[in-house]
Amino acid sequence: MFSELLLFIYYYSIQLNIIYARYIRLPPVNCSETSPIGFPIVHLLNVLSETSSSSSSPTWLFSFSSNNSITSYFLIDDLKGTITVKHRLDREYLCSIARLCSCLNCTLKLEITSISDTISHILLLPIIILDENNNLPYFSQDIYQLNVSEAIRIGTRLQLPQAQDQDQPPNNIQSYSLTSTVTNDSEIYFELVILEKSLTIVPEMILKNFLDREKISTHYYKLCAYEIQHHVCSTIIINVLDVNDNIPQFEQQQITVNISELLPINSTIIQIHAYDLDIGKNGEIRYQFSKWTKGDQTIVDTFYLDSITGWLTLIKQLDYEQRIIYEIQIQANDLGENSIPVYMKTIIYVQDENDNSAEIFTFAPANIDLNDTIISVLENITIGTTLLYLSATDKDSNDNGHLSVILTNMTVKEFLSVQKITDNTYQLVTLKMFDREQYPIYYFTLYVSDHGQPSRSNSLTFQIKLMDINDCFPVFEKISYHFNITENNPLNYVFGLILATDADEGINSQIKYKLSNYTNIFSLNLNNELYTKVSLDHEQQRIYHFDIIAEDIGLLRTIAPVEITVIGINDNIPIFLSQEISMQIEENRPVHTLIGLIVAYDLDEEDLLTYKIHPEDKPNTIGKVLLESDGKLFTDMVFDHEQYKNLSSIKFRVQVYDNQHTTTANVEVNIVDIDDNMPMLIYPIDDNSILCFEHHSPNNTILLKAYDLDENGYITFSILTAIKYIFLYPNGTLTINTTQISLGFFTITIRLQDDMHSSIYNIHIVIVDNYSKCNISYSSHFISPFFNFHYKTVFFIILIFLFIFLLIISAFCLCLKRQKTPSLSSSSKESVEDNQDNHEEEEHDTLIHRTIVLNVHHTTTASQSSSPFTTISNTSMISTLDDHHNHQPHMLTAIIKKYATNEQTKLSTFERRDNNKSSSLSSSASSTYIKISRSFDDEMNYYRCVQMVLDGQNLILLIVFVVIIGLVLICVTWCCFCKPAFCNLNQRLLRRRIERDEEQMANERQKSHESMRDLFKQNKTGRDLIREKYQLPSS
């Protein structure tokens, strides 16, 4: 404030005193960047004293002429003029960031005003900021890895990481050293090369010997950077990669770009491009920031590099105050194996903005009508005519005041051009003839911009209005016209509208129409509508061609072709090419397999034909075939020629319908047999069959027979186990050399082969010295006729049944003999029962009867009795049972002995009870004997009945046993003799049936082939007739 007050006083004193002033350029002074705050740089009072010639010493007042960024670093003494350091002077900051001086020679220029009583000076004092070695060198990383192909040539240079030192020469990096860290590395592969570029040195290493990855895959080096006082080192690891013999090459090794700090985010800055002579993956290049650049996080956060296109895009808003320069190292490598990266540097300077826009003034020539921003001219104005003059000015200077004028409307750009007359004066000149019909009004914008960053601009929008001349032909709405008319139309039938337009205006756009021909059939009314004068006939003529001519008042005419198609009505029935359609499908095809396409023609082209199976034949085709409406015939089941013998073909009728008419045709689908079954051996009938041959017999050949269910299966025979003297021919003939082969049992394995399948069978061959030894164990029925053993079988069966019959007759006779004795005893019983006397006698008889019954089945030793009664009774019983002694001797003897003992006991008891009746005993002896004898006969009759039952059961068991033995013999006989014979008979019947089936199938195939040939001839004849009738092109 004090200095400003003094200056104010001196400025007002000028009115009273005459002050002499001059501009003095002082010699530069040096100041170290490490000078402390308050350090005096220069004493201006002493300097002025030396330059002043006056003997007196005036009083001076010193001040900075202006306050700016430079003066903010210094202080000045108002009276003494001493300039001291106000802020720390960082030379690197002043030149690189603040950009107040050049980094090569950092000189700060101060303008100082010195005022005395009579003299005033403007002093220009250059202050040179001396660089000091106050920054340490550094690498961005401690370890760097380089991938190097083993195929690179000797002398190839590889860029090494550059150490950073913010000091300027000579305090910056002065040298580099490269040493191998492997002590036993006897060969020198890389050598350090120092390149000097713009006061800096760049380390590179050059290849001195060929690399061999298999010998040394990794090289370790130590790269050191040296300045005057300090040094720094980093480890370089070189990985030797396999061959990819071309590396990408940048079109430019260094690019400098200036961009505005207001550049929008996601704006593309520059496209980095490199090329590679390789092709494919080895020639496809990918871009990325180098490892050294990735170490600078600010660059990574601010910019994005597209790895494929190479476009560098801004992803974060720039800030000039934070950073004004970005050094980006970009790495390019291909996608091949062992790709070698190459590097280039992109330097981006951030620019400040300007704040003034251009001012525009326009005027037109005398022959041009300019009304504000509307220019009116004829559309046929000549090329090179000046339409408008433009003058533009910008208050800014240098690039910010340097203006450019461009047209921004691309359409108008073809017709107009902006030509520069002077620095700020331009003219608008026509380049091409205008066309009012194309664009009656042209709009364009004159865009005036300066060259500042970012550029400021101004614009004016004009329109050119063109005045019409008759220069256009009439134009139809369509290039050509096509109309459809149904035949038999009424007279004066309107069917179309014809309309043309003329791009001209007023009278120039009036149009007249006329027809070129067919004026007797067609005509135009006043509304430009086409109508018919007669009724059209589709059969007489289908298409009419003529032209319509449109003409304006200036005799400019245009012709449009017209095509009229006469559409016929549905008056024709659909026609099959043949009424008999034959198709075929192979068996075993899956469901919904396309069999064929049924086609019919209809002379009415517009009709849509629909196909279906005749309703009467529909039940026969359900589950077999399926016909779609478009005529495609599909299978609805899996056909098996062998399973469905009666389904060799499917016949049905098909109807085609055109919404009005229906036509029917016969369709036959033949099921074609394919080879899908294995051949079967039918003679001999079973696997492991036995064939018996007599040694030295002339009958040594047998024809083996096989059967294949497929009709087309041709079977060949072959032998898999070769045995000497046994031969099998392909037709199945088995021949044995019985004179050479030895006796014994042989097994051969044969194979039956058809076109696609094969089966294996084993046959056992027995060679005997006598044919009679071909017994049942050898199954000789395979080589003997059916009736060789038939008579033996019948004879053996007759003997078995005769034996059973005799056994049954013998048992029946024995039963008849047993029934005679019970009939006699029953008659004597009836005569004796009438003479019983009293109750005691009945009780006595009953007691004796029960004793006999209870002891019938006991077997004890009989004792003899001395009583006359007992003797008589035993004698009578023995005589009565004498007839049965031969049959049951032991049982009858036991019964008699037991009966005698009991009878004696009971008789003594009876005598004790009846002591009073002793006198009557003798008189009743005879009657008692008769009663006892009668009771004994009754008991013996009962015994006979029981014995007969037992004999009947034994007889039944005997009969069952004999029947079982007979059945077993019958089964053995059947298995050994009858079954092979009957099987042989069935085999012959099967062969006869197969032969009949083969003959029948051959006849059917012959008939089918003949019918197909006839059908083909009929179809060909029908197609030829249709083509000839309707003039259809031949397929």
pLDDT tens digits for 715-760? 889 988 778 888 888 888 988 888 888 888 888 888 888 877 888 8
Helix axes 839-854, 889-913, angle to 10 degrees: 150
> Which H or E run includes 651?
strand 649-657
Residue 616 has a pLDDT of 92
Residue 487 has a pLDDT of 85
Residue 823 has a pLDDT of 43
Q: What is the mean pLDDT of the chain?
A: 77
* 562-588 mean pLDDT: 87
Q: How many residues does the chain have?
A: 1035
Q: Is the pLDDT of residue 103 over 90?
A: no
C-alpha torsion 1013→1018→1024→1026, nearest 10:
-150
The better pLDDT of the pair 242, 154 is held by: 154
pLDDT in tens, 325-354: 999 999 999 888 778 889 999 999 987 677
The better pLDDT of the pair 980, 449 is held by: 449
Residue 1030 has a pLDDT of 53
Residue 948 has a pLDDT of 62
Which own/partner pairs from 989-993 qualify as long-range (CB within 8 Å, at least 24 positions apart)? 990/682, 990/707, 991/682, 991/683, 991/705, 991/707
SS3 state of residue 958 = helix
pLDDT in tens, 926-936: 444 444 445 55
- Bond before 684 cis per omega within 30 degrees: yes
For the chain, helix (H) and strand (E) counts, in that order, are 15, 60
* 515-536 mean pLDDT: 91
Alpha-carbon Rg for the chain in angstroms: 70
Q: Is the pLDDT of residue 563 over 90?
A: yes
pTM score, whole prediction:
0.30
Residue 71 has a pLDDT of 87
- Bond before 698 cis per omega within 30 degrees: no
- Cα–Cα nearest to 589, from 528, 639, 659, 657: 639
Interatomic CA distance for residues 671 and 667, integer angstroms: 13
Residue 305 has a pLDDT of 94
Confidence band of 434 (pLDDT split at 50, 70, 90): confident
Q: Is the pLDDT of residue 825 over 60?
A: no
With beta carbons less than 8 A apart as the criterion, state whether 818 and 941 touch: no
Q: Is the pLDDT of residue 545 over 70?
A: yes
C-alpha torsion 613→617→618→624, nearest 10:
-90
Q: Is the pLDDT of residue 12 over 70?
A: no
* Cβ atoms < 10 Å from Cβ of 838: 8
Name, in order, each residue with C-beta under 8 angstroms of 693's C-beta and a sequence gap of 6 or more. 699, 700, 736, 738, 765, 766, 767, 768, 783
**Domains, the chain, ordered by start:** 2-130 (2.60.40.60), 134-242 (2.60.40.60), 244-352 (2.60.40.60), 359-467 (2.60.40.60), 481-567 (2.60.40.60), 575-672 (2.60.40.60), 684-785 (2.60.40.60), 821-826+840-909+927-1020 (no CATH)
Interatomic CA distance for residues 778 and 141, integer angstroms: 100
Residue 914 has a pLDDT of 44
Interatomic CA distance for residues 692 and 780, integer angstroms: 6
Confidence band of 821 (pLDDT split at 50, 70, 90): very low
Residue 981 has a pLDDT of 55
Which tokens hold the place of 687?
Answer: 């696997």
* 412-427 mean pLDDT: 84
Name, in order, each residue with C-beta under 8 angstroms of 505's C-beta and a sequence gap of 6 or more. 468
Q: Is the pLDDT of residue 74 over 80?
A: yes
Name, in order, each residue with C-beta under 8 angstroms of 715's C-beta and a sequence gap of 6 or more. 679, 706, 708, 732, 752, 753, 754
Confidence band of 843 (pLDDT split at 50, 70, 90): very low
Confidence band of 712 (pLDDT split at 50, 70, 90): low
pLDDT in tens, 880-918: 334 443 444 444 444 444 444 554 454 444 444 444 443
- Looking only at the bridges linking them, the beta strands covering 557-567 and 481-486 are parallel
Interatomic CA distance for residues 895 and 882, integer angstroms: 13
The better pLDDT of the pair 827, 99 is held by: 99
Place of tokens 């895959």: 217
Residue 803: HSE in the Cβ half-sphere, 13 Å Cα cutoff: 14
CA distances from 6 to 59, 115, 742 (A): 12, 10, 154
Which tokens hold the place of 437?
Answer: 């019909």
* 760-769 mean pLDDT: 86
Confidence band of 863 (pLDDT split at 50, 70, 90): very low
* Cβ atoms < 10 Å from Cβ of 656: 23
Instruction: Give the amino acid at 393.
Output: T
The better pLDDT of the pair 831, 312 is held by: 312
225-234, 584-593, 693-702, 1002-1011, range with the lowest pLDDT: 1002-1011
- Report the range out of 89-103, 613-627, 940-954 with the highest average pLDDT: 613-627
With beta carbons less than 8 A apart as the criterion, state whether 342 and 332 touch: yes
- Report the range out of 141-150, 763-772, 819-828, 933-942 with the highest average pLDDT: 141-150
Angle formed at CA 230 by CA 224 and CA 231, multiple of 5 degrees:
10
The string over 507-520, giving b where at least 16 C-beta atoms fall within 10 Å of a residue's C-beta and e elsewhere, is: ebbebebebeeeee
- Cα–Cα nearest to 111, from 56, 170, 70, 149: 70
Angle formed at CA 247 by CA 242 and CA 248, multiple of 5 degrees:
145
Name, in order, each residue with C-beta under 8 angstroms of 424's C-beta and a sequence gap of 6 or more. 391, 392, 393, 403
- Cα–Cα nearest to 940, from 1005, 896, 1003, 985: 896
CA distances from 143 to 95, 206, 943 (A): 31, 19, 132
DSSP letter assigned to residue 95? I
* 580-604 mean pLDDT: 88
Phi, psi of 818 (to 5 degrees): -75, -20
* 123-131 mean pLDDT: 88
Residue 979 has a pLDDT of 54
DSSP letter assigned to residue 385? -
> Which H or E run includes 23?
strand 20-25
